[in-house]
Amino acid sequence: MEGAELAGKILSTWLTLVLGLILLPSAFGVSLGISEIYMKILVKTLEWATIRIEKGVPKKSGLKNAASGGIIQRDESPMEKGLSGLRGRDFELSDVFYFSKKGLEAIVEDEVTQRFSSEELVSWNLLTRTNINFQYISLRLTLVWVLGVIIRYCVLLPLRITLAFIGISLLVLGTTLVGQLPDSSLKNWLSEMVHLTCCRICVRALSGTIHYHNKQYRPQKGGICVANHTSPIDVLILTTDGCYAMVGQVHGGLMGIIQRAMVKACPHIWFERSEIKDRLLVTKRLQEHIADKKKLPILIFPEGTCINNTSVMMFKKGSFEIGGTIHPVAIKYNPQFGDAFWNSSKYSMVNYLLRMMTSWAIVCDVWYMPPMTREEGEDAVQFANRVKSAIAVQGGLTELPWDGGLKRAKVKDTFKEEQQKNYSKMIVGNGSFNLESD
């Protein structure tokens, strides 16, 4: 019996501490400064670890430079220059050199596949998940790593799971209760409070430190908020600073429960799996939503899939055809403290959440940007590219024209046909060639 009493006492002290130090401040949007102290200690420790490694690694490996900016010298010259000829030159046996070099360069390092796995870090952050190479350095460093594992799994993980549990249950409960009220401004205000509080609790469940820049450009009602996508956490990060109407598929299980509860309190847009294929239906519903100026701004991720936060890939034009004001937002994570990218083909959602909760922290910057609208004579694709460039520049990310869907799908044949056409023009020249089929 004594053991049970002791366990009960510990549990109640634990919960009181959590309530007092974390939950109540979140409800009022106040910070006690505990996370700042934690971050300072963490930064100091990681710096120490980096210095130890640099002392220990022999000079011959030379890997430090490799992580930044590519490992080989890519020849970006167009086909004409690469084949070293003027237009109208004839075919030569050496033409095959150009294609084979380009092919081998792509095999050693290509722009696309590296975006679908976690970014490699230049210096070790005491997590054995994303690192380039390992070598036994010293006993002290190993002990620090073991200490880190103990802290992360025995201290941080239980705390975070408790917070996540409390946060999600409060969300479901709160939104269901608020949903019972009749439509009024009180209901909207209450629903906002519930959303914000629960999101703040969930962010603390990940030890998230978020810096918001340019808050004056925060998305307004009746607009569409567009951001680059790295993980499901993006949603959490954005909703901590404002309320959005979310768009997405109806899921089953826990996600489904959360979705159904949320939609009671404020109008989110959830689609059935069958409806999402009907592009016209989706566009119509979104247009109806933004036409009502009292409704919350819609949150959309035009890339359509998670990218590893080093680049922005092609924005799908669907969201840009709706009309309305686009509010771009750039999100950039600091990979030093924890890798936020969800590699959905490798890790399940549960595995991903566990990784999140056993990292040091999630640190990110969010930049709100001035609103953009489609200009005269600009079609949806050009508008999408314009917004994409703006986000890439703001977040310090590389801009790529490739489709994020290449994570799972094969590349279209049209690109190869384009290359073949260019080459044909070169070897026959003068634009006068017979087409095989017309």
Partner 1 sequence: GPPSPAHRPRVCSRVRSRNSALSLLDPWPYLPSFPPSRRGRYWRCCSRGAPGSVMGSRASTLLRDEELEEIKKETGCEFGQITRLYSRFTSLDKGENGTLSREDFQRIPELAINPLGDRIINAFFPEGEDQVNFRGFMRTLAHFRPIEDNEKSKDVNGPEPLNSRSNKLHFAFRLYDLDKDDKISRDELLQVLRMMVGVNISDEQLGSIADRTIQEADQDGDSAISFTEFVKVLEKVDVEQKMSIRFLH
Binding residues for partner 1 restricted to 388-417, rule: CB under 8 A: 402, 406, 410-411, 415-417
For partner 1, the binding residue among 9, 101, 213, 215 (CB under 8 A) is 101
For partner 1, the binding residue among 2, 28, 86, 134 (CB under 8 A) is 134
Helix (H, G, I), strand (E, B) or coil at 272: coil
Instruction: Tell me whether residue 200 or residue 407 sits nearer to partner 1 (CB atom).
Output: 407
Closest among 81, 139, 75, 130 to 108, alpha carbons compared: 75
Contacts of 340 (CB under 8 A, 6+ apart): 230, 231, 233, 309, 333, 356, 362, 364
Angle between helices 157-180 and 185-205 (to 10 degrees): 170
Instruction: Tell me whether residue 6 or residue 151 sits nearer to partner 1 (CB atom).
Output: 151
How far apart are CB 147 and partner 1 at their closest, in Å?
Answer: 13
In angstroms, rounded to a whole number, what is the distance separating the alpha carbons of residues 241 and 68? Answer: 33
x/- mask, partner 1, residues 332-351, rule CB under 8 A, reads: --------------xx---x
- Measured torsion, CA atoms of residues 238, 242, 243, 249, in degrees rounded to the nearest 10: -10
- Site for partner 1, residues 351 to 380, rule: CB under 8 A: 351, 354-355, 358
Contacts of 206 (CB under 8 A, 6+ apart): 160, 233, 236, 356, 357, 361, 362
Instruction: Tell me whether residue 272 or residue 438 sits nearer to partner 1 (CB atom).
Output: 438
Instruction: Tell me whether residue 287 or residue 424 sits nearer to partner 1 (CB atom).
Output: 424
Q: Label the pairing between strands 311-312 and 298-300.
A: unpaired
Q: Is 170 in the site for partner 1 (CB under 8 A)?
A: no
- Measured torsion, CA atoms of residues 349, 353, 355, 358, in degrees rounded to the nearest 10: -160
222, 323 Cβ separation under 8 angstroms = no
For partner 1, the binding residue among 80, 119, 120, 321 (CB under 8 A) is 120
Q: Is 60 in the site for partner 1 (CB under 8 A)?
A: yes
For partner 1, the binding residue among 32, 51, 106, 186 (CB under 8 A) is 106
For partner 1, the binding residue among 97, 186, 189, 379 (CB under 8 A) is 97
Instruction: Tell me whether residue 301 or residue 341 sits nearer to partner 1 (CB atom).
Output: 341
Q: Which residue stretch of 30-38, 262-270, 294-302, 430-438 sits at the interface with partner 1 (rule: CB under 8 A)?
A: 430-438
- Site for partner 1, residues 74 to 93, rule: CB under 8 A: 90-93
How far apart are CB 304 and partner 1 at their closest, in Å?
Answer: 16
- Site for partner 1, residues 147 to 166, rule: CB under 8 A: 149, 152
Q: Label the pairing between strands 224-227 and 326-334.
A: parallel
